């Protein structure tokens, strides 16, 4: 058996998969997409983030959603802004459920899109995971994956789940 290597998992960051996030449409519950041309968490970048469903036509700009109240200071001034959630089974922008999710041994396997899913497959399939090049410590996808997912004993189960997601959730 030839050795499969993963060399870029410790240089790839989750934000590299956040340009197009597949979600469950809040209107029709079919596959929809959140598009973020630039993954930047500034107020200006929020102007271009849009939810689009080709099935029912539902469309919404991120700027149409209310800001989050962070706190009210002692003089009564409210401080508001946007919260971006990364690293969970919801999209980072609208906080809607991801389309690509499945259970594996009581754990939730999720991916933002098909590129993210392919990345996970390559990393999980690898029998040798090298940390080469500049280290991004805990910010890299490879360093943030849970132990149940990267464990050798779960490799086949996780890979089967990834294949199921790839086959059942056609683009």
| pLDDT tens figures, 76-124 | 898 877 888 888 899 999 999 999 999 999 999 999 999 999 999 998 8
Per-residue confidence (pLDDT) for residue 171, from 0 to 100: 46
133 pLDDT more than 60: no
Choice between 18 and 40, residue whose per-residue pLDDT is larger: 18
Structure tokens at 143: 């360093």
What pLDDT was estimated at residue 167? 86
Residue 6 pLDDT greater than 70, yes or no: no
Structural element, H or E, at residue 127: none
Lowest mean pLDDT among 44-48, 78-82, 153-157: 44-48
Q: pLDDT at residue 157 above 70? A: yes
What is the Cβ-side half-sphere exposure of residue 153, based on CA atoms within 13 angstroms? 3
> Taking the chain, what is the end-to-end CA distance rounded to the nearest angstrom?
32
pLDDT of 7 over the 60 cut: no
Q: What's the pLDDT at 65?
A: 86
What span, in angstroms and rounded, lies between the C-alpha atoms of 33 and 14? Answer: 17
Residue with tokens 């998969």: 17
């Amino acid at each position: 058996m030839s050795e499969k290597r993963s060399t870029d998992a410790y240089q790839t960051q989750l934000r590299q998969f956040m340009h197009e996030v597949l979600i469950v449409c809040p209107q029709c519950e079919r596959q929809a997409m959140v598009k973020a041309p630039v993954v930047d968490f500034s107020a200006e970048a929020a102007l271009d983030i849009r939810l689009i469903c080709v099935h029912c036509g539902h469309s919404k700009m991120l700027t149409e959603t209310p800001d989050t109240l962070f706190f009210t200071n002692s003089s009564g001034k409210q401080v508001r802004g946007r919260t971006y959630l990364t690293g969970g089974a919801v999209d980072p922008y609208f906080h809607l459920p991801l389309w690509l999710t499945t259970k594996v041994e009581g754990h939730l396997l999720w991916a933002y899109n098909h590129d993210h899913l392919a990345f996970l497959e390559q990393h999980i399939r690898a029998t040798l995971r090298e940390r080469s090049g500049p280290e991004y410590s805990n910010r890299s996808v490879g360093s943030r994956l849970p132990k149940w997912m990267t464990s050798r004993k779960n490799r086949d189960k996780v890979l089967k789940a990834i294949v199921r997601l790839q086959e059942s959730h056609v683009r």
